[in-house]
Structure 1
Amino acid sequence: MSRWKELPTELHPHVRQLVVRLRRLKDHGGLSMRQLAAKTGYSAKSWERYLNGRSLPPREAVEAMARVAGDEPTRLLALHEIAADRWGQPRTAPPADSGSTPAESGSTPAGPGPEPDEERPHGRSHRVAVVAGTVTLVLAVSAALVLAVRFTGTTGSGEGEGDRGGRAAAAPTTAGASRSPVPYTCRMERAAGRWYAGNSRTQDAILAYGHAGPEVAEAQCLLRRAGLSPGEVDGIYGPLTQRAVKRVQKRDGLVVDGIVGPHTWKALREMAPT
């Protein structure tokens, strides 16, 4: 496993989350920078900048990393979308600690010649332990939710696999064992130049195929208002909803991936009817 150094302290937490995840994938694959460059098509110097937090990796590089590491790219791409939206923004509060462990703490890979931000080998033990425990808990919850989505997609609804990306508090639940749809209504209102349907006021929840909940119903109402039929407003992200989302993304020049993130929410809430 690579020994990492600290990331810049001014890096936004969502950007830090993406970089830490990329480092984990590199360590898991046991790849050197040269090997990573050869397998992804991006130079070793580029990966050093990406994993050092000095440059935001392009979407294609993130997808290539997931492919090389054998990881499901949906959640990683969702993290990249949020990180791209926050890139260049300062931290909202001073960090409790800049890292957790050499592999998880937001650090750059050790290379020839020390840098000013090189991690001290000792000290800060208590804070490091607290941060490491928090990171472990968040990753464990995320992994459990991904497994729940996969289980639902193969044993019940027949819908594709959903994945949870971005912020845990904003993400919807996955379709449960019950087959009875929850009744939702669309109570459209306009506030501050944006449309709301009365089910959720989220601006950045990540929705993907197989998700379920009021956030999905909100997106379905907004799609219906824009003249793009998502099927029944039942709070279940199925094929009709995914197709309507892709039409919105194509119409607004967004990445057409069928995943509702911050940019797609903005388009839905500000879109005029067709």
Structure 2
Amino acid sequence: MSRWKALPAELDPRARHLVVSLRRLKDHSGLSMRQLAAKTGYSTSSWERYLGGRSLPPKEAVEAVAAVAGEDPTRLLALWEVASAAWTGRRTSPAAATANDGAPTGAAPGPPARRRPPRGAVVAGVVAFVLVVASAALLVARAAGDDEGRARPPAVSQAAPAGVEVSPTATSYTCRVERADGQWFAGLSRTQDAILANGHAGAHVAEAQCLLRRAGFPPGDIDGIYGPRTERAVQRLQQREGLVVDGIVGPHTWGALRG
């Protein structure tokens, strides 16, 4: 497995999901960065930006890497749709994006002119605003200790990626940790590949919290809410196990938790 650099701390968790999935697909393909560039038609420097979390890859690049790796692109494209909403304000104009990706840029742009914002940018901005408001409301409810007042964030039009459990009502969980078939289980979930990140909640999160505590990285209360303390515990586990330290629980981190 490649030793990837840590992703930028300011990168939105939804964008992290996409980048981490692309990194894993690249690792599983066995291709070098130069070979990946040759097979997909996107330059090596472009892939370094995409896989480093510095810019959002075009949808066509996501489809290309899935084709090269022999994977169904459906799940990756769902991740891309969610990540594109999180990348509001960082996306370049179509002409600049084409130039960055090494494709022909066409005629030079004319002088700046006032124009309406693209409809996609407006929709993405509204989605991002709704998510920020929902996150703030959740934090306020937790600070007040109102367990019954923890409301789930408003639904957005973007479909959640497969395997991601997003913000059900908070509850309390009991860890029943036991060893079975060479793996650790806490009696709340038997998943091996659910993707979890800051802001998620539910039984998968509680299972991870129980196993983090068993591994010596206490995440705080076993409340099924993936907050900052759980994220820090995951990062410490990843650092010890030599994994990508991104604070996201995916197949490799589940392997470390259950192993």
TM-score normalised over the length of structure 1: 0.47
TM-score normalised over the length of structure 2: 0.49
